[in-house]
Structure 1
Amino acid sequence: MEVIPALWEWFTRPEVWHGPGGIPTRLAEHIGYSVLALGLAALIAVPVGLITGHTGRGGFLAVSLANVARALPTMGVLLLVVLLAGIGLLPVLIALVALAVPPILVNTYEGVRGVDPQLRDAAQGMGMRGRQVLMQLELPVALPLLLVGLRTAAIQVVSTATIAAYVGIGGLGRYIFDGQSSRQYDMMLGGVLLVVVLAVVVTSVFAGARRLLVAPGIRHHTTASS
């Protein structure tokens, strides 16, 4: 099978762009699952990373647990939760959140801990309290690494959200699973290409967010140090 002609033929079919199984619907499902999972992971990981990084207490335990979670196979977590909770959106979200939490938590923690101690001393000397130091100094300085963690997690979630199709929910993974099971390899390759394109778009979005949210001085310093 010629890959490019087969993909072109599949993408130019009218039925591929309409109905509940069309690309717009599947793409919306995939983005919805991914955004929800990433948002839940950020709500868990960012506060933990900020607090442990700021106080220096519990950071080793949190990072160690995050690194252990990185080693967990996402499909294994999904199957385990399916056995416990049944088929539905919940097992998919749990598996994706477990995948997304570690990079966000570790990068947030490392970003805060990497703030120059002299800057903290200067801020405290100006009368800043602990919360003010965290929000006005440590968070802005740690923001580049925090965004790297979010970007890494987002790409992993977008790529892995195809497992939603494994439990019959939907998303772009339907094209991959359905195409493989029915031996419609043009459909399967089309699904893979859509996921890759979406991952590239996510990378571009976070590159733009870095330019908008990170102060130029911090951005240039981070680029120079890396």
Structure 2
Amino acid sequence: MSAINDMINWFNDPLNWTNPDGVLVRLQEHLEISFLSVLFGSLVAWPIGIWLGRRGAGSGVVVILSNITQAMPVIALLTILSLSPLGIGKPAVVVALTVFCLPPLLANAYTGMREIDEEVRDAGRGMGLTSAQMLMRVELPLAVPYLATGLRIATTQVVATATLATLVNGGGLGNIISAGFGLGPGRGDAQILAGAVLVALLALLIDGLMALVERKVTPKVLRQAAGRA
């Protein structure tokens, strides 16, 4: 219980929140890294997944790309990138986390396109819709639940994994944990535990917010259909 009490006291110290290396600064860095990584991952994965899904081919490509990116340990990728021209810091972290979040974004975008009933597409063609109109008015709205699910998974994973940014001086909440280890056994236990709790709470909060967004952007008729299923 002493470790928990020490953690509570650590949280109650205003300096741990407002100093230049405090929670507020590290939280902002953590969110910036996570946002940029998911943004770039979406810009890469969604167009590829949607394009392959519309073609009705390339399932093997999706599986291969997902397996390759999942097989790369983030720590190893961070090490390699930090030795590249990107250097040590946030750019290497953002690139590594972008690669890390590709699988759920790519797989769900592809699945969303493949799950659309061909009769719906035929009806759209019968109404004279062009390919671009079909995508924007018919296919993407129907694929929104899958896109949102992939975004939720990717975002939560990136927020949790961004803690490793501290290994290459990339900032984020992981710095609080690593600084605690630097204080030595016993002295930094409260800070290490506080940092771990902050990361866990942030990941849970982001997951809950993304769940609300997922529900909000899903058309009501699709939510009702899912409920009946």
Q: Classify the TM-score, shorter chain.
A: over 0.9
| Cα distance between partner residues in 2 of 1:198 and 1:220 | 30
TM-score, length basis structure 1: 0.94
> What is the DSSP-based 3-state SS (H/G/I as helix, E as strand, rest coil) of the residue aligned with 2:101?
helix
| Cα distance between partner residues in 1 of 2:37 and 2:133 | 30
**Count of aligned positions:** 225
| Cα distance between partner residues in 2 of 1:135 and 1:75 | 38
1:198 aligned residue (174, 177, 202): 202
Kept after mapping to 1: 8 A contact 2:45/2:105: yes
- How big is the alpha-carbon RMSD for the aligned residues of Structure 1 and Structure 2? 1.5
* Structure 2 residue aligned with 1:88: 89
Kept after mapping to 1: 8 A contact 2:90/2:171: no
> What is the DSSP-based 3-state SS (H/G/I as helix, E as strand, rest coil) of the residue aligned with 2:44?
helix
Farther off after superposition, 174-183 or 109-118:
174-183
Deviations 1:124-149 (A, max 9, x none): 11111222222211111111111111
Identical amino acids, percent of aligned pairs: 37
* Structure 2 residue aligned with 1:5: 5
* Structure 2 residue aligned with 1:213: 217
Q: CA deviation at 1:195?
A: 0.9
Q: CA deviation at 1:212?
A: 2.1
Gaps of 5+ in 2: none
Kept after mapping to 2: 8 A contact 1:144/1:222: no
Deviations 1:111-169 (A, max 9, x none): 11011111111111111122222221111111111111111110111011111111123
Deviations 1:170-217 (A, max 9, x none): 110001111123230111111111111111111121122123211111
TM-score, length basis structure 2: 0.93
* Structure 1 residue aligned with 2:139: 138
Q: CA deviation at 1:59?
A: 4.2
Kept after mapping to 2: 8 A contact 1:63/1:105: no
Kept after mapping to 1: 8 A contact 2:3/2:189: no
Aligned partner letter, 2:225:
H
| Cα distance between partner residues in 1 of 2:58 and 2:93 | 29
* Structure 1 residue aligned with 2:181: 180
Q: CA deviation at 1:94?
A: 1.3
Farther off after superposition, 173-182 or 91-100:
173-182
| Cα distance between partner residues in 1 of 2:96 and 2:52 | 24
Q: CA deviation at 1:224?
A: 4.0
| Cα distance between partner residues in 2 of 1:189 and 1:90 | 28
